[in-house]
Amino acid sequence: MINVKNTLLMKKISYITVILIFGLFFFSTSCQRSEKPSESGPVVALVLKTLNNPFFIDMQRGAEDAAKQLGINLIVQAAEREVDVEKQMQIIENLIQRKVAAICVTPSGSKEIVPALVKANRTGIHVLIVDTRVDAATLTEAGGYMATFIGSDNVEGGRIAGKFIVDKLNSSGKIVILEGIPGHETGDARLIGFHQAVDSIPRIEIVASQTANWERDQGYNVFQNILQSHPGVQGLFACNDMMALGAVEAIAAAGKTGEIIVVGFDAIDDARIAIRQGTMNGSVAQHPYEMGKQAVVYAHRLIIGQKIPDYIPVQIELITRNNLVPDSSLGE
């Protein structure tokens, strides 16, 4: 009787063990499938600055749509914050180890990212730069190269924003600038263009120009402090919409909504809603969806051996209430 019980117990334990082993194997293979793309097509990586900004989410969407059409296995990765260039470099180095066919990257640091790009060059991976240019001198000096740059003219965008504010203020008034990350090519280019438009206007005064590191909460805090020091501000140019939207909140908290001309950059959905509501006056649109789409399209052309241009321009335009198309998806 004891032997029969022991035999039944051993069979039960063996049965449970088999189930556990099978379950662990299934779980493991399922995780691998979600992590590793299928081998049916070439693997292209899109490395973004962050996915906490709607601008880059739109870019991801464009890349994904193009990848589906072309049979590309797309990997999209990003750091938590736009300022984390070290994390972005780690992502690129991991992708090099995975031997992807092409890396499309929006650099968090125009100079800092160069060593990672050079490593990709040396392993034969195609490198495409999107939205933010790499510092050309640093890249050349390090022996690196890029296949192309896909993006809009940020200098021209800054110039468009500056001219708009000058016109709205009738060439007379006090202006504040919210800058991006210091030394960052995108923000620097927008600042150059903006200064080209306003510096020659005698009665336009820039009373403050400070960084808010591309972030909405910093846009709020920095502009709130500026308003306390310069209550007579009449115009604001923010180098991206996230900072502009933070400033809009600071303006509302100060009871000054509608009293300050506010122009941002990127024309993300929240900015378009603010423009519709009249809390923002304009935003320079860059069409990130198109950037992401073209990045994958041209990466594919490189992979199949085609030559591509070294610069693929993307349209840029100022969005205001006058040309803003109503969109029910934005709650308008």
State pLDDT tens for residues 189-230.
Answer: 999 999 999 999 999 999 999 999 999 999 999 999 999 999
Compute the radius of gyration of the chain from its Cα atoms.
25
- Exposed e or buried b for every residue in 202-220, given b needs 16+ CB within 10 A? eebeebbeebbbbbbebbb
Same domain membership, residue 253 and residue 163: yes
Count of domains observed in the chain? 2
> Who contacts 18 (Cβ-Cβ below 8 Å, separation ≥6)?
none
Q: Is residue 223 part of a domain?
A: yes
Same domain membership, residue 240 and residue 120: no
Same domain membership, residue 273 and residue 173: yes
* pLDDT score, position 40: 67
pTM of this prediction? Answer: 0.76
State pLDDT tens for residues 35-61.
Answer: 344 456 899 999 999 998 889 999 999
Q: Is residue 182 part of a domain?
A: yes
Same domain membership, residue 176 and residue 135: no
Q: Is residue 102 part of a domain?
A: yes
* pLDDT score, position 39: 52
- Domain housing 270: 154-285
> Who contacts 201 (Cβ-Cβ below 8 Å, separation ≥6)?
166, 171
Same domain membership, residue 131 and residue 205: no
311 within 8 A of 148, measured Cβ to Cβ: yes
Token representation of residue 208: 């403050």
Instruction: Quote the mean pLDDT of the chain.
Output: 88
Same domain membership, residue 189 and residue 80: no
State pLDDT tens for residues 54-100.
Answer: 899 999 999 999 999 999 999 999 999 888 999 999 999 999 999 99
Same domain membership, residue 161 and residue 273: yes
* pLDDT score, position 13: 42
Q: Is residue 10 part of a domain?
A: no
* pLDDT score, position 21: 40
Q: Is residue 191 part of a domain?
A: yes
Same domain membership, residue 258 and residue 174: yes
Q: Is residue 27 part of a domain?
A: no
Res 26 pLDDT > 50: no
Q: Which of 145, 148, 89, 136 has the alpha carbon at shortest distance from 110?
A: 136
Same domain membership, residue 279 and residue 202: yes
Q: Is residue 325 part of a domain?
A: no
| Domain CATH for 84 | 3.40.50.2300
Same domain membership, residue 161 and residue 148: no
Same domain membership, residue 235 and residue 170: yes
Same domain membership, residue 164 and residue 265: yes
* pLDDT score, position 14: 46
End-to-end CA distance of the chain: 78
